[in-house]
Amino acid sequence: MLIFLIGHRGVGKTGLLKRIARYVPESVTICLDSEIERKHGDIKKIFAANGVEYFRKLENDTLQDLLLRLDTKKKIYIALGAGFSGSFPEGCRKIWVRRDMDPSHFLFLDRPTLNGDPRDLKMPPDLFVQRERNFANICTEQITLKEGIYDFDPAEALFFQHQISHVGAALTLLSGDFEKETFLDWIQRRDDWGLHSFELRNDLLSQEQIRKVVRLSLKTPLLFSFRSRDQVEAHIRLAEQCAYVDWDHNLGEMPEAITAKAFISVHSSLEEFQDNLVYWQDTVQKIKWAPVVETLEQLYLGHQWVLADPKRRAFLPRSLDGRWQWYRLLMKNKMMLSFLREGTGSAQDQPSLLNWLTTEPFANSAAVIGSPVMHSWSPTFHNGFFREHSCNFFALTIDREEDKEKTLETLFRLGFRALAVTSPLKEWAGGVSGCNHPVNTLVWSTKDDTWIGKSTDLKGFQLLLQEENITLEVEKVAVWGSGAMSELLKNAYPAVEVFSARTGEGREGYDSHWSPALFIWSAGDNPSEALVRLYPHWQPKIVIDMSYRQDSPAISFAYRWGARYISGVKMFIGQGYEQQIFWKQYLNPSHK
């Protein structure tokens, strides 16, 4: 069987191949780019010398030659380049490998530029959209990878070994699922997952698509969701053949024919939140409440509402950016109904399949907090450590505008006992833990009945310098970005000069002709136009990126200067292990 891994460049297809070799040891795994380089040399040089069209033909020719030599009786996984436009053999499977970070466009120093401008590493927006549509059209299924670095993931192993079971959540069927060449095989494999139900929404699917599923002999119950009054009589007849019915409250009175198996679905706007909370507080009906939620305080009110009757209630908070995914994981299989997603799903707050499978029914939790954190590597990095301490680890978006004192109190009530803290909350975390400096690590001390804090950032940075054989004492060093980490560096290294990412200003009396030999990026995703405008003469030899994100602007600046680029990955790993050493003292049951 031939299985192709498709997806945007940088998504992690090659790394996934290596893990598949562990999950399915009897399989054959091949990276097409590696095959091309083995035969023809560096891909970047091929692009530069011959152009895109030549490379695409070479890519397809290499694949076709490879297929002639493979034993297709074995299970063969082949990872393709993002722009592959050749032909696929009949009957093969194509798995679209995704990451939620895909739309941010990864930047690479070691790959060909795609827009003809060697100074610009970004993918042209129209090309991204074109590829996204192509992946959607040709894939037979999708998998959304976790953010971070890892060499084995139990949830991934279950997916590729076809051993998923007892999931307990609903999966919404989308119109695109029916366009798969192998739709019947696709849905039958998911029929073995132990889902709560397949959701059939009448605003997303046609009557023919719904009938197609209803006619199948599936073990998984069907949930018919009314979101539109179009052809309601025909839809009622289909709904009567389903195990569950979801009736949108905005559609008016529920038809009597479906009342016995139905629950009411309420989709409140932000303005309606409080009124709906009061209105549905004492109802005896089954309710799925999916309000727009803006703050953690509102979320906790909804949490209390669902806990009052979890067998008859479901609380599914919604947002514009998917910030409540962690809460839906926290409440996994603890209320009347939950949803997970494959790919983008039908709502951004639905957890991905792999994150759903990773979450356990632990009483306590830990998290990384700050903004932005949706693409943080911390949940993946710390998951194994916290599982040993019977905790899940989530990513919680909390910005500087929120009431931090109430936030910390609410998180404690929700069972959070350890926190990794990132921008813009480090100074606040230092304050609540009684430290006189910013901290990136908090833990609840049962002995002291309070939050204890520590900073491991500087230690992580020093480990990075040590591994890269760099010393700051003898270099001219510019730190771009005036956050908490910049202050730590300024205090620790006299040679450091800190510049504001917003204005570009350094200290008073700064010599404008001065140019750094080493540049440290500490500005997050700030585009920093001031850097280009005010310091066009800068030519640092080394760029250290405090971020590990593959869309970091520091990558483009390193490319512009021709400087050696050093990602913050090693710093992240170093400070992460230091965090675990600190947390362990307080999470250990013997600490009282």
Three-state SS at 397: strand
Do 245 and 226 form a contact (C-beta atoms < 8 A)? yes
Q: What is the mean pLDDT of residues 566-570?
A: 95
Flag whether pLDDT at 120 surpasses 70: no
User: Average of pLDDT values for 103-116?
Assistant: 66
Rounded Cα gap, residues 212 and 209, in angstroms: 5
Quote the pLDDT of residue 399: 82
CATH number for 368: 3.40.50.10860
**Co-location of 542 and 566 in the same domain:** yes
DSSP codes, 312-339: TEEE--B-SS-TTHHHHHHTTTSSS--E
Q: What is the mean pLDDT of residues 425-441?
A: 92
Q: Which residues, 6 or more positions from 353, have their beta carbon under 8 angstroms from its beta carbon?
A: 143, 144, 155, 159, 340, 341, 342
Residues 13 and 148 in one domain: yes
In a domain, 87, yes or no: yes
Domain extent at residue 372: 362-455
pLDDT surpassing 60 at residue 94? yes
317: preceding bond cis by omega (within 30 degrees): no
Instruction: Specify the length of the chain in residues.
Output: 592
Residue 228 belongs to a domain: no
Q: Is residue 553 part of a domain?
A: yes
Tell me the pLDDT tens digit for each residue of 310-365.
999 999 999 999 999 999 999 999 999 999 999 888 999 999 999 999 999 999 99
Last residue of a domain, one of 130, 152, 174: 152
Range 282-296 average pLDDT: 94
Query: What does DSSP assign to residue 352?
Result: B
* Inside any domain, residue 72: yes
Distance, in Å, from the CA atom of 381 to the CA atom of 366, rounded to the nearest integer, reads: 12
Residues 6+ apart with CB under 8 A from 417: 364, 365, 366, 391, 443, 444, 587
Q: 């009949």: which residue's tokens?
A: 90
pLDDT at 125 over 60: yes
- 30 pLDDT higher than 90: yes
Does one domain contain both 465 and 445? no
Least-confidence region, from 122-126, 208-212, 554-558: 122-126
Judged against a pLDDT cut of 80, whether residue 109 lies above it is answered with no
Shared-domain flag, residues 11 and 23: yes
- Of 118, 152, 186, the domain-final residue: 152
Assess whether 444 and 486 both reside in one domain.
no
Q: Kindly tell me if the per-residue pLDDT of 285 is higher than 60.
A: yes
Per-residue pLDDT tens digits for 126-169: 888 999 999 998 998 999 999 998 899 999 999 999 999 999 99
Poorest-confidence range of 91-95, 325-329, 414-418?
Answer: 91-95
Question: Are both 25 and 126 inside the same structural domain?
Answer: yes
Give the residue among 286, 456, 465 at the shortest CA–CA distance from 381.
456
Q: Let me know whether 16 and 148 are in one domain.
A: yes
6 and 146 in one domain? yes
d(CA 468, CA 58) in angstroms, rounded, equals 37
CA atoms within 13 A on the CB side of 220: 28
Residue type, 204: L
Q: What's the pLDDT score for residue 119?
A: 53
Q: What is the CATH classification number for the domain harbouring 41? A: 3.40.50.300
Report the pLDDT averaged over residues 376-404. 91
Mean pLDDT computed over 77-90: 93
What total of structural domains would you count in the chain?
A: 3
pTM score of the predicted model: 0.92
Closest Cα to residue 578, out of 375, 425, 382?
Answer: 382
The CATH number for 557's domain is: 3.40.50.720
Residues 506 and 421 in one domain: no
Model pLDDT for residues 188-238, shown as the tens digit of each residue:
999 999 999 999 999 999 999 999 999 999 999 999 999 998 888 899 999
Q: 441 lies in a domain?
A: yes
Give pLDDT, residue 510.
66
On average, the pLDDT of the chain sits at 91
- Residue 491: CB atoms within 10 A of its CB come to 11
402 and 471 within one domain = no
28 lies in some domain:
yes
With 0-12 / 13-18 / 19 or more C-beta atoms within 10 angstroms meaning exposed / middle / buried, residue 24 is: middle
Which of 592, 584, 544, 589 shows the shortest CA–CA distance to 568? 544
Give the domain-ending residue among 120, 152, 184.
152
Residue 533 and residue 495 share a domain = yes
Residues 23 and 115 in one domain: yes
Is 217 a member of any domain?
Answer: no
Q: How big is the CA angle at 94 (ends 92 and 96), to the nearest 5 degrees?
A: 175
Q: Cα–Cα distances in Å, from 523 out to 79, 109, 519? A: 34, 20, 12
Please report whether residue 216 resides in a domain: no
pLDDT at 1: 87
Tracing tokens 């890519």 back to the chain, one arrives at 59
The confidence score (pLDDT) of residue 113 equals: 63
